Amino acid sequence: MRAESKNILYKALVSNPMNQNEVTRRAYKYLDLIMVLFVTVLLISNIASSAKIIDWGISLGPLALAFDGGTLLFPISYIFGDVLTEVYGYRRSRRVIWAGFGASALLAIMLKLIAIMPGEAEWQSYAGQGAYDAILGGVSSGGIIVASLLAYFAGEFSNSYVMAKMKIWTQGRYLWTRTIGSTLVGEGVDTILFIVIACLFGVFPWSLAVTLIVSNYIFKVGIEALMTPLTYQVVRALKKVENEDYYDIDTDFNPFRLGVE
pLDDT tens per residue, range 67-119: 777 777 878 888 888 999 999 999 999 999 999 999 988 988 888 899 899 98
Contacts of 164 (CB under 8 A, 6+ apart): 85, 89, 90, 248, 251, 253
Percentage of the chain exceeding pLDDT 70: 88
pLDDT in the model for residue 78? 83
Would you place residue 2 in the very low, low, confident or very high pLDDT band (cuts 50, 70, 90)? low
Please check the confidence at residue 13 and state whether its pLDDT lies above 70: no
Name the pTM for this structure.
Answer: 0.80
pLDDT tens digits, residue range 163-203? Answer: 999 999 999 999 999 999 998 999 899 999 988 988 887 77
Backbone angles phi, psi at 159, to 5 degrees: -60, -50
pLDDT in the model for residue 8? 47
Would you place residue 149 in the very low, low, confident or very high pLDDT band (cuts 50, 70, 90)? confident
**Of the candidates 141, 13, 139, the residue with the CA atom closest to the CA atom of residue 68:** 139
Query: Domain boundaries in the chain?
Result: 27-49+70-118+127-242
The whole-chain average pLDDT of the chain stands at 83
Please check the confidence at residue 9 and state whether its pLDDT lies above 60: no
Asked if residue 82 lies in contact with residue 182, where contact means CB atoms within 8 angstroms, the answer is yes
Type of residue found at 4: E
| Average pLDDT score over residue span 29-48 | 89
Asked if residue 148 lies in contact with residue 104, where contact means CB atoms within 8 angstroms, the answer is yes
From CA 197, how far away is CA 192, in angstroms rounded? 8
Would you place residue 57 in the very low, low, confident or very high pLDDT band (cuts 50, 70, 90)? confident
Please check the confidence at residue 48 and state whether its pLDDT lies above 80: yes
Percentage of the chain exceeding pLDDT 90: 34
Backbone angles phi, psi at 59, to 5 degrees: -125, 150
pLDDT in the model for residue 240? 94
